[in-house]
Structure 1
Amino acid sequence: MLKTIGRETWNSIKITLVLLVLCVILYPLVVWGVGQLVFNKQANGSLIKDQQGNVIGSELIGQQFTRPEYFHGRPSVVGYNAAGSGASNLGPTNPQLIEGNGSEVTVVPGATPPPGGTPVAGKDNTYYVPGSYLGIKNYAEQFRLENGLAADAKLPADIVTASGSGLDPQISVEAANLQVTRIVAARTALGGKNAGISVAKVKELITQNTDGRDLGVLGEPRVNVLKLNLALDAAFEKPPAPAK
């Protein structure tokens, strides 16, 4: 009896050791090796480097662009902070999806207004404090204003709504084309090599940097904002850093 128990125990230990080597050592090594050999760029984060070899971003994670000389990405609830991705989590029937998730804050008379708050008409000592999601209405108004579009200009859905992660690196081709006039005007004012920019040349860059539908049928054509902005700087000239 004891001999049988000892034999079975030893067999169990051997099986455990074999599985440990296979699943904990060999399998991860094979997966890592295949990734490095066949999908090296993807396995290492799809990193984008500048001409000096410095990492400046990833094809998979968007960045916040606000300068008029560059294309701007989608609204982001988390400000493109890759350490804490997230969405607004507002459904299509929620009025905050349109108006934003801000709130009204009432303070005692004479108190300091809340940071970022604006007075609410008709309500004493009451301020509207915007939330992390400004709402389709506000995003649309901002986009039209910064790009010199008519107040009723139709906009693609992606440029006035936040993505599920807040880190979407791409925008639709339509959203990119709507920003061309602003970018041309801003870069022309810089002079130098940027003086040779034109609407036709920028639209050609958009075409060159457009990714088609996956497998030819899935999704929509889109443009990676970081790669497109790098193409702008390469074709013309990188704008000088803003004065501090």
Structure 2
Amino acid sequence: MTTLRLILVSIILCMFLYVNAILGFARTFVPEKATGSLITNEAGQVIGSRLIAQAFASDRYFHPRPSACGYNGQGAAGSNLSPTNPELTTRAQAIIDTTGATSGRPIPADLVTASGSGLDPHITSEAARFQIPRIAAARNLTADAINGVLPHGPIANVLELNLALDALKL
């Protein structure tokens, strides 16, 4: 009977009290991170997260890294294909062929390879700059206008870049 009581107390402490104490602490002191770093629009609707990539296929937007899990947060995973696997080479070549990359204008590696989680929301500044001509043509804007939304650091969040593009005044 004592063992059963100890098990029940441990379950209550570990599964309920501890978890709710940590969640309460997080919601009090870092509320944005406790709720998943969600981004909302003017109407208060959730449009994405700063922490999880989402697919953008339109030429009007920056594209994220490829995802091995279809940008599904519940199935986060790398591709598990070895570097010598022909399927990996075929997949990478298909991406290269659709981007307009040439020997004089090579595509940055992060636009061809998935991250370890398959959900990395960031691309390098080099990858963002590589996409500027496509976006400028699709939006009928100058490359300088598109370049103006890029952050000054080495990486950029794709969703935040695309929101900045939508905020540009034509």
Task: Name the TM-score, length of structure 1 as normaliser.
Answer: 0.61
Q: Supply the distance in 1 between the matched residues of 2:20 and 2:69 (Cα, whole angstroms).
A: 35
Kindly report which structure 2 residues correspond to 1:1-244, keeping only aligned pairs within 5 A, or say none. 19-99=10-90, 134=91, 136-144=92-100, 149-188=101-140, 197-207=141-151, 212=153, 221-236=154-169
Q: Which runs of 4+ in 1 moved over 6 A?
A: none
- Measured in 2, the distance between the counterparts of 1:95 and 1:18 equals 54
C-alpha distance in 1, partners of 2:39/2:45? 8
Give the TM-score, by structure 2 length: 0.85
Q: Higher helix proportion, which one?
A: 2
Give the distance between the partners of 1:163 and 1:25, measured in 2 at CA: 34
Displacement of 1:45 in angstroms is 1.1
Residues 202 and 17 of structure 1: CA distance in aligned 2, closer, same or farther (over 3 Å): same
Larger RCO, structures 1/2 (Cα 8 Å, 6+ apart):
2
Q: Provide, for residues 176-200 of structure 1, a one-character-per-residue CA deviation record: whole Å limited to 9, x for no partner.
A: 0011112112111xxxxxxxx4322
Give the partner amino acid of 1:97: L
Structure 2 unaligned spans of 5+: none
Count of paired positions = 170
- How far did 1:73 drift? 1.2
Instruction: Return 5+ residue gaps in structure 1 as ranges.
Output: 1-8, 100-133, 189-196, 213-220, 238-244
Indicate if the aligned counterparts of 1:71 and 1:176 stay in contact, CA closer than 8 A: yes
